[in-house]
Amino acid sequence: MPINRPSPDSKYWEPELETLPRPKLEALQLELLQKHLALAYAKSPYYKSSFDAAGVKPSDLKHLEDLRKFPFIDKKTERDRQIAVPDLGDMLAVSEEDIVFVSASSGSTGVPTLSPFSQKDFDDFQNVESRQFWSIGMRPKDRYLHALNFSLFVGGPDVIGAQNLGALCIWGGTVPSDRLLYIMKQFKPTITWTTPSYAWHLGEEAVKQGLDPRKDLFIRKIIVAGEPGGSIPATRQAIEELWGADLYDYYGLSDIFGSCAGMCPEKHGLHLAEDNILLEVLNPETLEPVVC
């Protein structure tokens, strides 16, 4: 599929979308959500049954606030449906023949849940990754080392977003530290992605080997995700000082896609991919929206 890359000096991967005024963004969200609910009701056995039981139809969504009329799901819902209708459950709105990729949760609180992606899902997912990579300054001249787990982990394929952007990509994965440091010395990547704790550990391992990460390696940007740390100023600054690199925090989960929110160079919170995600903050007791 042809990829329309912006000029390297462009601040944005998708300038028009990323600079939409709030009213226009919310209008886009409403349009996309209406299509999404209509497809779910027409094609997903679970959602049709769920909506019917709640007495709602997709046409009831006239405003974004109307989403509260629709039934709520959680991780248990996903797990229960995949157990009831193995292996992918009955929440799908496409046939299995249209599924090209699955990721899985860790299963830390129960049976792992699968997250299936159609080709369009996957392409949209990677476009968001390209957008986030671009926002921190990754450009085609960069060399990117992807140091995340590739085994069923939803963050594994995010390297494709960097490839689509035009960066030279090194699919490192979760290899031993000495091997990763060898890759950094040999192939001179300028950007990498790992967890906060491993970024610190790897920097310390480099020092033990007699290397100064600031001078002997070429990493100038580090992306972290998967655990707290990147958004804690003291932790972020310590890792940045160790590596002589800028650190950016990303957030994702298997139920959506790899990274669906990330820092920009301002490093003041994370930006959600709001053309893909509608965020609600709910009271856990009443499930009613909370004003932030």
Q: What is the DSSP string of 27-82?
A: HHHHHHHHHHHHHHHHH-HHHHHHHHHHT--GGG-SSGGGGGGSPP--HHHHHHHH
Name residues whose C-beta falls within 8 Å of residue 179's C-beta, 6 or more positions apart in sequence. Answer: none
pLDDT at position 131 is 97
pLDDT at position 287 is 81
The model's confidence at residue 112, banded by pLDDT at 50, 70 and 90, is: confident
- Identify the helix (H) or strand (E) that includes residue 143: strand 143-146
Q: What stretches of 71-158 show up as alpha helix (H) in DSSP?
A: 75-84, 119-135
Distances in Å between the alpha carbon of 198 and those of 225, 239, 262?
Answer: 10, 10, 19
**Mean pLDDT within 6-21:** 96
The whole-chain average pLDDT of the chain stands at: 94
Given a cut of 80, is residue 109 above it in pLDDT?
no
**Mean pLDDT within 183-201:** 97
Distances in Å between the alpha carbon of 37 and those of 24, 31, 115, 196, 233?
Answer: 20, 10, 18, 37, 39
Beta strands in 217-281 (DSSP E): 221-224, 246-253, 257-262, 271-272
Are the beta carbons of 244 and 210 closer than 8 angstroms? no
What percent of the chain has a predicted confidence (pLDDT) above 70?
Answer: 99
Are the beta carbons of 248 and 236 closer than 8 angstroms? no
**Mean pLDDT within 105-132:** 90
Name residues whose C-beta falls within 8 Å of residue 191's C-beta, 6 or more positions apart in sequence. Answer: 133, 136, 138, 142, 143, 144, 145, 167, 219, 220, 221, 222, 223
Given a cut of 80, is residue 81 above it in pLDDT?
yes
Domain boundaries, the chain: 15-118, 122-272
pLDDT at position 107 is 73
Phi, psi for 100 (deg, rounded to 5):
-115, -10
Given a cut of 70, is residue 292 above it in pLDDT?
no
pLDDT at position 253 is 86
Write the pLDDT tens digit of every residue in 122-175: 999 999 999 999 999 999 999 999 999 988 888 899 999 999 999 999 999 999
pLDDT at position 1 is 60
Given a cut of 90, is residue 13 above it in pLDDT?
yes
Write the pLDDT tens digit of every residue in 20-59: 999 999 999 999 999 999 999 999 999 999 999 999 999 9
**Mean pLDDT within 101-105:** 90
**Mean pLDDT within 274-279:** 94
Do the bridges between strand 257-262 and strand 271-272 make them parallel or antiparallel, or are there none, so unpaired?
antiparallel
CATH code of domain 122-272? 3.40.50.12780
